[in-house]
Structure 1
Amino acid sequence: MLRRRPASTPTAVAQDAAATAIGSDEDFKGFEKYVLDLQERILTEAEQLDGSGRKFLRDRWSRGSDNAGYGITCVLEGGDLLEKAAANISIIHGQLSPQRAQAMSSRGRADIDPKGGQPYSAAAMSLVFHAAHPLVPTLRADVRLFQVAGNAWFGGGCDLTPSYLFEEDAAEFHAHWKAVCDKYAPHVYPDFKAWCDKYFYIPCRKEHRGIGGLFFDDIATGEAGYDAEAFVRDVGDNILPSWRAIAERRRRLPYTDSQRQWQLTRRGRYLEFNLLYDRGVKFGLDGGRVESIMVSAPPLIAWKYDVRPDEGSDEARLLDVLRQPREWA
């Protein structure tokens, strides 16, 4: 079963591996309830952090009927801290398309028929917070469950995309996530940090999108050796705590027009990655709801020809790290 339960010993996990691989309707409903609650908690805290009095627009939509799935897209725009923030729920029941099935089977999932047609269910909460202040980094995170062929896999992550590099912020963010991961196994943080660096890469620019964090996909309790659902819930519960202090600290600093323009330029890179390389965006655009998918786009973006910051500048320091990721924790 995939119900959340107390942490198990490796022996106990191995003994019940067969049971934990099976995803039931009851398990799915439990995770659906969790992501709905997580979204509400995030919206409440984000409104308080923003401080402008603005509220998230809540837009519930259906995929024809609730039996086929539904979503809740929530957006706050024009806040004091949050220039644009989105925290979305999607609950989907459908049949695997050949393209999706081939992608999953190519990742080593033998139970997936590459021809498609198998019924599946998916539940996810995802967020992107774009700050009004150029010294406050963009926050992106998600947690998700995917069930098909009697099996269930979890995915998710959390990463930071600054326009200006504060090394103490990067170290604090990564130390937070290392502490979360270390509760489960010593290899979890280095593995998922490396996965994040590899995934959020813009080949045409030869840059990574940000300073990384965690990224993981297709993890199951029996294979992982720890409770995958408990871990993913822990990730969800730590999304805002990993960013809150950084945002509060940087939003008080003065900034210049040129720093704001650099922020808009870096947002262009953010959107380039989403449209060109992000697997989740491509997955969603294959029959998904375009407004909910594109809500992650920054509100304002600038593209200028052949932008090259001065050597030794703060902007150049950021690019140095984006071209060669560091170990922060």
Structure 2
Amino acid sequence: MTEDDFDERKVRAARWFHALRDEIVAAFEDLERTHDTGPFSEDPPAAFEVTKTSRRSDDGSDAGGGLMSVLRDGRVFEKVGVNVSEVYGTLGERAQAAMAARKGIPGMKDDPSFWASGISLVAHMRNPQVPAVHMNTRMFWTPHAWWFGGGADLNPALPYEEDTAHFHRTLQEYLDRHGAEHYPRLKTWADEYFFIPHRNRARGVGGIFMDDQCSGDWNADFELTRDIGRAFLPAFLPLVEARRTQDFDSADRETQLIHRGLYAEYNLVYDRGTKFGLETGHDANAVLMSLPPLARWP
């Protein structure tokens, strides 16, 4: 595949991530506007604040950036961020070592240039009955290799079996379009990845995850990645609709805040995206957007 081919595919991927961002932001703002019954329905609806982010290379030159979109203190969402980015340049020594160890990429020391684009979403809800959620998809390119990654996982403070079943069923429906082998593989990967070793427990009720999808067929892998993104709203919105009007008490709120502590621990200690973003010099506020606005520890 020629360099021009990859330049065109980078454009396609980045445009898709931006389009998915626009769709999700519109859907979440619609939830804010239409929440007129139940807890917090008397509060004013919130809208996303959009900030441009930037990355600078070691010599101070432009190295890409993106959009950080954050909605705070709404009727439905206590804090939700939907970020898109397109960054490029050269990987520093620490990032090179991490990528080489995980991917086994040859030639990284000879030419550590890279390009990456993706969307990252984390939603922390006001009502403890509504589950928190994470989703991201991305494409990564070097002169030596390319791959896609991403997934989605549900993080309820107060789990409901029917919510978990719907979330997983919807993800499987979209993945099955590409072969029956994908959902069990990506579910197992998520179970292993979204695990907190020092707590000996999962951070939520799972989902799907992939970190190095490169079958050799770029178009097939891109379509798989797009369907992970397409599955998100059908998997999550019905859960919000079902739970946002439910009552809760102070004990439920306490449970929610303690569960958020687990989420913060995971993202700060284990999450690869957090580590990569900080090590490559991306906007720290955008990288740490996933952290909850409030959390507690027992």
The two structures have a TM-score, normalised by structure 1, of: 0.81
Corresponding residue of 1:88: 83
Match of 2:262 among 264, 269, 273: 269
Q: Aligned pair 1:173/2:167, yes or no? A: yes
Q: Aligned pair 1:60/2:55, yes or no? A: no
Change (3 A) 1:250 1:21: farther
Cα shift at 1:31: 1.0
Cα shift at 1:55: 1.1
**Residues 194, 203 of structure 2: 8 Å contact kept:** yes
**Letter paired with 1:90:** S
Q: Distance in 2 between matches of 1:194 and 1:76?
A: 32
**Letter paired with 2:172:** K
Q: Aligned pair 1:189/2:183, yes or no? A: yes
Corresponding residue of 2:71: 76
Cα shift at 1:20: 10
Q: Distance in 1 between matches of 2:251 and 2:196?
A: 24
**Residues 104, 112 of structure 1: 8 Å contact kept:** no
Corresponding residue of 1:301: 295
Q: Distance in 2 between matches of 1:151 and 1:26?
A: 16
Q: Distance in 1 between matches of 2:270 and 2:186?
A: 19
**Letter paired with 1:236:** G
Match of 1:157 among 144, 151, 156: 151
Change (3 A) 1:22 1:103: farther
**Residues 96, 117 of structure 1: 8 Å contact kept:** no
The two structures have a TM-score, normalised by structure 2, of: 0.90
**Residues 268, 302 of structure 1: 8 Å contact kept:** yes
Corresponding residue of 1:323: none
Q: Aligned pair 1:42/2:24, yes or no? A: yes
User: SS of the counterpart of 1:174?
Assistant: helix
**Residues 21, 152 of structure 1: 8 Å contact kept:** no
Corresponding residue of 2:247: 254
**Which deviations, in whole Å up to 9, do the C-alpha atoms of 1:9-33 show, x marking residues without a partner?**
xxxxxxxxxx499961111011111
**Letter paired with 2:168:** H
**Letter paired with 2:292:** P
User: SS of the counterpart of 2:178?
Assistant: coil
**Letter paired with 1:291:** N
Cα shift at 1:82: 0.6
Q: Aligned pair 1:205/2:199, yes or no? A: yes
**Residues 147, 213 of structure 2: 8 Å contact kept:** yes
**Residues 156, 216 of structure 1: 8 Å contact kept:** yes
**Residues 22, 152 of structure 1: 8 Å contact kept:** no
**Which deviations, in whole Å up to 9, do the C-alpha atoms of 1:267-322 show, x marking residues without a partner?**
00110111111111111111221111111111111112xxxxxxxxxxxxxxxxxx
Cα shift at 1:219: 0.7
Q: Distance in 2 between matches of 1:173 and 1:196?
A: 14
**Which deviations, in whole Å up to 9, do the C-alpha atoms of 1:167-190 show, x marking residues without a partner?**
011111101011111111111001
**Which deviations, in whole Å up to 9, do the C-alpha atoms of 1:114-145 show, x marking residues without a partner?**
x3752110001100011101011111000100
Q: State which drifts further: 21-30 or 286-295.
A: 21-30
Change (3 A) 1:144 1:23: farther
Corresponding residue of 1:292: 286
Q: Distance in 2 between matches of 1:70 and 1:275?
A: 22
Q: Aligned pair 1:97/2:89, yes or no? A: no
RMSD: 2.1
Q: Distance in 2 between matches of 1:84 and 1:116?
A: 42
Q: Aligned pair 1:232/2:225, yes or no? A: yes
Q: State which drifts further: 20-29 or 134-143.
A: 20-29
Cα shift at 1:150: 5.0
Corresponding residue of 2:38: none
Give ranges in structure 1 of 5+ residues lacking alignment.
1-18, 305-329
Q: Distance in 1 between matches of 2:71 and 2:173?
A: 30
User: SS of the counterpart of 1:129?
Assistant: strand
Q: Distance in 2 between matches of 1:116 and 1:89?
A: 29
Q: Distance in 2 between matches of 1:181 and 1:254?
A: 34
Corresponding residue of 2:40: none
Q: Distance in 2 between matches of 1:107 and 1:140?
A: 22
Corresponding residue of 1:311: none
**Which deviations, in whole Å up to 9, do the C-alpha atoms of 1:203-262 show, x marking residues without a partner?**
1111110011011011124279x8000111111122122100011101111111111111
Aligned length in residues: 284
**Which deviations, in whole Å up to 9, do the C-alpha atoms of 1:72-121 show, x marking residues without a partner?**
000000111111000001110111222222222223434342x3752110
